[in-house]
A and B are shown apart, each in its own frame.
Chain A
Amino acid sequence: MKRVFPIFSILTALLLVYAFYEAIWVAPRERTMGDVQRIFYYHVPSAWTAFLLFFINFVASLQYLVSAKPSTKRAANGILIAIGLVGAIAPFIPMVKQQLPSGMYPSSVATTVLAIVGLYFLIGKWFSGQALDILAVTTAEVGVVFCTVVLVTGPIWARPVWGIWWTWDIRLTTTLVLWLIYVSYLVLRRFSDSSQTPKLAAVLAIFGALDVPLVYFSIWFFRTQHPQPVIGGGGSIDPRMLHVLLINWLAFSCFAFLVCWSRYRLENLRREVEEAEAMASLHGVTQ
């Protein structure tokens, strides 16, 4: 494990350099927006990464809460399996199929649902107890950083293209509220120093996850200004641009994974030290 880390760091650094080169020199110049469009190669991958991290945080928090008791764990597993089955079959039923918005294929919906359920079980298998909480801290912190990048690069792009820094559009507002929720999550963790912080933080993460769809619908009612998602949303994109975007996404995902990894190790060590200190003071061998 110790040897993998530096190798992975070097690979990530190389990948980031290559992705930067691709984004700045190789990708074609956008016809109407010009060079400012290149910020898109940072904005979109950061957004995807932030949302993925927040989602992992939610799954880890959920796992942490339900695994406190074997009965709730069994119930949650049952519910998740049911969701997976319904999500995998329902999109192919003709009645449901007609309800899907254009550009959304039944197979992609089914795959997404199965991937979410799979992620839930994988995280439950690989992490348990304290490790789930450490995973939740890590993903929340790194997610807030990436979300901040999204919220900063967005207005820089919007100013020359839309003529305004900010608008209360559906995606912008949802991202901002998500950011606010996770900042309050981190504040809660910082301010509560009891041993029950993990439980309280996990509860807040569940509330945040319930809130996001409601925020989305409340703003969906207004007209939306943000460009349609370029993938799966009916928008079109030059294949060369898509290629650069995907490379950047890969590079940023690796980078996020690397940061999460080291933060995870740090938090793990911090807790070990804390525990050792507590044990030492119990035994009366404090320096």
Chain B
Amino acid sequence: MSSLSSITVATLTKDIRLEWRSRDAINAMLFFSLLVVVIFSFSFDPNAEESRQIAGGLIWVAFLFAAVVALNQTWARELRNQVLDAYRVSPAPATALFVAKALGNFILVSLLEALMAPLFMVFYNLRALGPAWQLIPVALLGTWALVVNGTFFAAMSLRTRSREIMLPLLLFPISIPAVQSMVEATRIILSGDGSARFWIVLLLTYDVVFTTACLALFETVLQAE
């Protein structure tokens, strides 16, 4: 167990250090979601009440698209110099690598959300009418739902031609229930009509089910070649 956690921490620190020094992914994601915010607000031009209804959808669609940028880069780094092959022949457990990559993406996408959320609030005149603290579990669970499957499918699409386009094609259909839960929960909290509990529980279920599936099947995907 200690080797599992130490390998996880080592890979995670390495990834974060690499990202901190280059800031490739985070800059691309930030600029991309900024563009989405601006383009959406030109296309809809909503008033405060309307934006409460649609903002949940806009925010999460923007983050979903931006997350794909980071997810596509996850494994690309390891392909250079055959790092992934080295990992495959080493006795290190595959799950440690997966957990580290998923956590790295989680931190990256959460950081993006923390930076972009105030901007959304300003551009769309948002003020939560429901319990605003519930947005935090929604954001954390929702982000994990996106990145856990995203990291897994990014590893899967490594073996395909044109893998950059393959990732969203695999990820989006499977993410539909998660995206719907995030959007609905956010809409309910912002507009203050009803309770978002059902959606948060559904998100939690989604996270538990797919985290288990990813951990169970990652070894198969990593060794597939």
Measured CB to CB, the nearest residue on chain A to B163 is A191
When the two chains form their complex, are residues A192 and B174 in contact, meaning their CB atoms are under 8 A apart?
A: no
When the two chains form their complex, are residues B206 and A214 in contact, meaning their CB atoms are under 8 A apart?
A: yes
- Report the stretch among A98-106, A202-210, A234-242 that lies at the interface: A202-210
When the two chains form their complex, are residues B174 and A181 in contact, meaning their CB atoms are under 8 A apart?
A: yes
When the two chains form their complex, are residues A191 and B198 in contact, meaning their CB atoms are under 8 A apart?
A: no
When the two chains form their complex, are residues A203 and B156 in contact, meaning their CB atoms are under 8 A apart?
A: yes
- Contact partner, B159, options A184, A200, A217, A221, Cβ 8 Å: A200
CB distance from B166 to the nearest CB of A (A): 6
B160: CB under 8 A from chain A?
yes
A215: CB under 8 A from chain B?
yes
- Residues on A facing B (Cβ under 8 Å): 65, 68, 177, 180-181, 183-184, 187-188, 191-194, 196-197, 199-200, 203-204, 206-208, 210-211, 214-215, 217-219, 221
Q: How many residues of B contact A (CB 8 A)?
A: 29
A200 in contact with B213 given A191-B161, A208-B174, A215-B176 (CB within 8 Å): no
B209: CB under 8 A from chain A?
yes
- Can you name 28 A-B pairs with beta carbons within 8 Å? A65-B220, A68-B220, A177-B173, A177-B176, A180-B172, A181-B173, A184-B169, A187-B166, A188-B166, A188-B170, A191-B162, A191-B166, A193-B161, A194-B159, A197-B159, A199-B221, A200-B224, A204-B156, A207-B174, A208-B174, A214-B177, A214-B202, A215-B176, A218-B176, A218-B177, A218-B202, A219-B180, A221-B198
Cβ < 8 Å to A, chain B residues 77-114: none
When the two chains form their complex, are residues B224 and A196 in contact, meaning their CB atoms are under 8 A apart?
A: yes
Question: How many residue pairs bridge A and B at CB < 8 Å?
Answer: 83
Chain B residues whose CB sits within 8 angstroms of the CB of A188 once the complex forms: 156, 160, 166, 169-170
B225: CB under 8 A from chain A?
yes
Render B149-169 as a binary contact track against A, CB cut-off 8 A, 1 for contact: 100000010011110001001
When the two chains form their complex, are residues A199 and B205 in contact, meaning their CB atoms are under 8 A apart?
A: no
CB distance from B213 to the nearest CB of A (A): 6
B143: CB under 8 A from chain A?
no
| Cα separation A208 to B171 with both chains bound (whole Å) | 11
| Cα separation A204 to B171 with both chains bound (whole Å) | 10
13 more CB-based (< 8 A) A-B contacts, given A180-B176, A200-B224: A65-B217, A181-B174, A188-B170, A191-B160, A191-B166, A192-B161, A199-B221, A200-B159, A206-B213, A208-B174, A211-B174, A214-B206, A219-B180
Render B192-225 as a binary contact track against A, CB cut-off 8 A, 1 for contact: 0000001000100110011001000100110011
Q: Which 10 A-B pairs have the closest CB atoms?
A: A196-B224, A192-B160, A180-B173, A214-B177, A191-B160, A218-B177, A181-B173, A199-B224, A215-B177, A184-B173
B181: CB under 8 A from chain A?
yes
| Cα separation A35 to B176 with both chains bound (whole Å) | 36
Measured CB to CB, the nearest residue on chain A to B173 is A180
| Cα separation A192 to B221 with both chains bound (whole Å) | 13
Chain A residues whose CB sits within 8 angstroms of the CB of B205 once the complex forms: 214
| Cα separation A50 to B73 with both chains bound (whole Å) | 37
| Cα separation A215 to B202 with both chains bound (whole Å) | 10
Cβ < 8 Å to A, chain B residues 36-78: none
